[in-house]
Chains A and B, each alone.
Chain A
Amino acid sequence: MSVFTALLSRDLKLALRQSADSLTVIAFFAIATVLFPFGVGPEAEVLSRIAAGVVWVAALLAALLSLDRVFTVDFEDGTLDQLLLNGQSMTLVVLAKVIAHWLTTGVPLIIMSPVLAVTLQLPAEGYGTLVLALLLGTPTVSLVGALGAALVLGARRGGVLLSLLVLPLYIPVLIFGTAAVEAALTGMPSAPMLSILGGFALIAVTLCPFGTAAALRQAAE
């Protein structure tokens, strides 16, 4: 476990020291959301209809921006080689990196989301479910995104490529994430959608780390 705890605390410490990086992602999340009222008009009725979807889409795009950096810095400065030589398990390394990513970008996005939902006139019944849905959905976003980030290491135009690879894979999370909020707004139970989001997270946590580890090994070869 030393591999896991040491790496997780290092990544958190680095993120704290370079907190501007996380703040940039949050700022992007805010500006992307704020663009929508300008695009569709400020009528409360229209905005409240699309609020959950807009928050989700903006959160996905913001997460994507940060995912681009998950492995590139370590790849470029030779840290990845040393991480591969951890002597225990590369899956632990991947999990530490992903959890660090989720804590440093997923969690701030979740905290920020109700504030942005207010500007989009999301009705009061929706907030709890929105936060819960993001809480259950963003781990999948980090896990799948890390896999994509590992695949594009060393590629030309890696960032754009990452979006192309990963965004289609986010569609199920987006569908059920927004559907959960919509259900809450119409007085239907949102638990089924939330459990499906949880199910996605379970599938992602069992499969993605192995794929990511394999992709990282190949990137170093």
Chain B
Amino acid sequence: MHKFANPTQFMRIANAIYPWVAGICVLLFAAAIPIALMFSPPDYQQGETVRIMYIHVSSAWLMMMIYGIIAANSAMFLIWRHPMANLVARASAPMGAVFCALALITGMLWGQPMWGTFWVWDARLTSTLILFFLYIGYIALADAFEDSERGDKAAAILALVGSVNVPIIHFSVEWWNTLHQPSIIKASKEGVDSSVHSSILLPLFLMMGAFTMFYFALLVLRLRSELLAAKIRNARLSQIAGHSAAQPAE
């Protein structure tokens, strides 16, 4: 564990795996995009719109996985004070927010032909929207302090609070949705569930894999630039310290 806590060690490992992650990502996309967008058969009920689902489900998968990663790293940061865990959490948050937004947008685009409207208070869309707000809150809190360390810790506590709350919110929204749901949505939902079969699963898994690798590759790039930025900051700080130490001698 402590091997990953040291930034230099961490970066050495991350740099070694980066080409592999990036390579696999490119290969998976190269396979997934043509299969998902052209060669897989259209759904008997949804027609061509089913192709949106490949992007939608992959984004939804990432937005949840990234929230989990943020929560886990926040816990490590608060308990063991690993600086790298904090960097991972903070670097992941904007990506999680973007995938969340992507899941929302693709969900709306898929909903238009399916439901005849861009927005329906469907349980999954609603939960996604709330998760999006949680992401925005996390990012806003992390950046709200002059003292960045305070922002790191406050955001880490918020991520843990959020991780306790996400299941509660999900359960509440699910329950609320069944209480108020018009029957049409129920019917179309069942249509989706029953139509999943292997010709959809293959491109779906390829796409999810490609998205996941894409996230890890971007994470390494973001961490690298964060560490470089920290180096520059430290160099500046030691310059300032050098100046003030030299002053009394003049």
Contacts and interface: CB of A to CB of B under 8 A. Distances in A.
Contact of A175 (B140, B160, B173): B173
Nearest to B136: A164
B130 interface: yes
Contacts of A172: 165, 168-169, 171-172
Interface residues of A, number: 28
Contact of A215 (B137, B157, B164): B157
A200 interface: yes
Nearest to B144: A155
Interface in B128-166: 130, 133-134, 136-137, 140-141, 144-147, 150, 153-154, 157-158, 160-162, 164-165
A151 B176 contact: no
A155 B145 contact: yes
Nearest to B155: A151
Interface string B171-190: 11101100100000000000
A176 B174 CA distance: 12
B247 to A, nearest CB: 29
A221 B154 CA distance: 12
Given A151-B157, A175-B172, A176-B172, A161 B140 contact: yes
Interface in A130-171: 147, 151-152, 154-158, 161, 164-165, 167-169, 171
Given A155-B141, A169-B161, A200-B168, A164 B133 contact: yes
Contacts of A161: 137, 140-141, 144
Contacts of B165: 169, 172
Interface residues of B, number: 30
A214 interface: yes
A19 interface: no
Given A155-B145, A171-B169, A211-B160, A164 B137 contact: yes
A26 to B, nearest CB: 27
Q: Which of B78, B137, B140, B153 has the most CB of A within 10 A?
A: B137
Given A211-B157, A218-B153, A168 B169 contact: yes
Nearest to A199: B168
A179 interface: yes
A73 B84 CA distance: 34
Contacts of B153: 218
B165 to A, nearest CB: 5
A56 to B, nearest CB: 13
Interface string A192-203: 000000001001
Given A152-B141, A218-B153, A165 B130 contact: no
B172 to A, nearest CB: 4
A198 to B, nearest CB: 14
Given A151-B141, A218-B157, 15 more contacts: A147-B161, A154-B145, A154-B150, A155-B144, A161-B141, A164-B136, A165-B140, A169-B161, A169-B162, A171-B172, A172-B165, A172-B172, A176-B172, A207-B164, A211-B157
Interface of A: 147, 151-152, 154-158, 161, 164-165, 167-169, 171-172, 175-176, 179, 200, 203, 207, 211, 214-215, 218-219, 221
16 contacts: A147-B161, A154-B145, A156-B144, A161-B137, A165-B137, A168-B130, A169-B161, A169-B165, A171-B173, A172-B168, A172-B169, A175-B176, A214-B78, A218-B150, A219-B150, A221-B150
